[in-house]
Amino acid sequence: MAFVEGNWPVLLALTNHILDLDSLSHVAVTGFIVDTDPLNSADAYFYNAAANFQLNKLEAAEKSALKAEHIALPAHFPQVHLLLGEIFARKNDYATAISELHTYLELAPNASNADQVRAHLAKLEKLNDQVKFPEKPDHM
For range 88-106, the mean pLDDT: 96
**SS3 of the chain:** CHHHHCCHHHHHHHHHHHHHCCHHHHCCCCCCCCCCCCCCCHHHHHHHHHHHHHCCCHHHHHHHHHHHHHHCCHHHCCHHHHHHHHHHHHCCCHHHHHHHHHHHHHHCCCCCCHHHHHHHHHHHHHHHHHHHCCCCCCCC
Domain span at residue 125?
A: 78-135
Q: Is residue 68 part of a domain?
A: yes
Q: What pLDDT does 27 receive?
A: 56
For range 31-35, the mean pLDDT: 54
Looking at the structure, do residues 126 and 66 belong to the same domain, yes or no? no
Residue 20 has pLDDT above 80, yes or no: yes
Looking at the structure, do residues 1 and 69 belong to the same domain, yes or no? yes
pLDDT digits (tens, 9 = 90+) for 72-91: 766 678 999 999 999 999 99
Looking at the structure, do residues 108 and 130 belong to the same domain, yes or no? yes
Q: Is residue 109 part of a domain?
A: yes
Q: Is residue 95 part of a domain?
A: yes
Q: What pLDDT does 110 receive?
A: 94
Residue 49 has pLDDT above 80, yes or no: yes
